[in-house]
């Protein structure tokens, strides 16, 4: 088993933070007993969490102690008058201070637990955000690799669509597999779309525009509709969701085959 790859998958962090399912936890415990590297990784991550919590912990407000002392001891004169004369003053004061110390320790302990938990919660949220970013980057990287392979595939026809007059600095490329009829679009450079608008790809078939699909926020190559044959491709700016016919004065790029 590739232990290094297993550790780098994020399972350690998910297990420690309680994000694994019951089945994943059971599997991890079994592997942890077999591979000391997993146990070391768990201890190391728990140590990192503890260090992060200590570094980022917020000290309890200084007024906590003074407020508590005020509440406990301001009424000491009134309390003394209500105590029976036979009760030793020394014992009353002793128990009062013991009780006060216990309450102070309880409040401090509660405050520390709260701040430590806040640090842990922040660490957990940050880890989940980083894990999500890592998964997104990995998915994007895989998409870019696939796009690069397809763009280097000599069986794919490349149709470069250049900007039309008045819509300069726009450029897109169609990759067309004439065997499978699959069409892919790569956005080299297109102006951002206004709110409520969306780019639409058209194939010019027998002199008539045919809808080839809406252009979404895809990574790398955008998979469009299949086209059997075409003389050209073009992109227009349409209302969000697309149009049945292209808006000719909103054409941005076009390329002939």
Note the pLDDT tens digit of each residue in 78-91. Answer: 444 444 444 444 45
Q: Does 30 score more than 90 pLDDT? A: no
| Residues 252, 199 contacting (CB under 8 angstroms) | yes
Q: Does 136 score more than 70 pLDDT? A: no
Least confident range of 112-116, 139-143, 238-242 = 139-143
- Segment 11-40 shows an average pLDDT of 85
Please name which of 6, 5, 10 lies closest in space to residue 130, comparing C-alpha atoms. 10
54 or 89, which is more confident: 54
| Residues 185, 151 contacting (CB under 8 angstroms) | no
Note the pLDDT tens digit of each residue in 64-81. Answer: 556 555 555 555 444 444
Note the pLDDT tens digit of each residue in 120-131. Answer: 566 666 666 666
Please name which of 168, 220, 216, 164 lies closest in space to residue 191, comparing C-alpha atoms. 168
Q: What whole-number distance in Å separates Cα of residue 16 and Cα of residue 26?
A: 13
127 or 232, which is more confident: 232
Model pTM above 0.75 = no
Residues 141, 145, 146, 150: what is their CA dihedral angle, to the nearest 10 degrees?
150
As a whole number, the mean pLDDT across the chain is 76
């Amino acid at each position: 088993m590739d232990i290094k790859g297993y550790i780098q998958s994020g399972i350690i962090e998910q297990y420690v933070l309680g994000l694994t399912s019951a089945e994943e936890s059971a599997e991890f415990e079994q592997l942890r007993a077999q591979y000391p590297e997993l146990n070391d990784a768990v201890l190391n991550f728990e140590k990192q969490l503890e260090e992060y919590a200590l570094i980022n912990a917020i000290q309890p407000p200084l007024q906590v102690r003074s407020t508590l002392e005020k509440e406990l001891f301001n009424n000491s004169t009134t309390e003394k008058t209500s105590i029976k004369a036979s009760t030793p003053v020394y014992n009353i004061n002793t128990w009062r201070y013991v009780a006060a110390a216990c309450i102070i320790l309880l409040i401090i302990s509660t405050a520390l637990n709260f701040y430590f938990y806040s640090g842990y919660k922040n660490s957990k949220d940050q880890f989940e955000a980083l894990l999500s970013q890592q998964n997104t980057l990995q998915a994007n990287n895989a998409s870019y690799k696939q796009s690069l392979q397809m763009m280097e595939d000599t069986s794919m026809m490349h149709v470069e669509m250049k900007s039309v007059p008045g819509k300069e600095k726009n450029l897109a490329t169609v990759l067309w597999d004439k065997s499978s009829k699959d069409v892919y679009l790569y956005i080299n450079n297109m102006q951002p779309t206004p709110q409520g608008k969306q780019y639409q790809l058209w194939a010019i078939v027998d002199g008539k525009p045919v809808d080839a699909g809406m252009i979404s926020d895809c990574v790398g190559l955008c998979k469009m509709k299949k086209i059997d044959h075409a003389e050209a491709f073009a992109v227009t700016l349409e209302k969000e969701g697309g149009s049945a016919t292209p808006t000719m004065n909103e054409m941005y790029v076009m390329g002939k085959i």
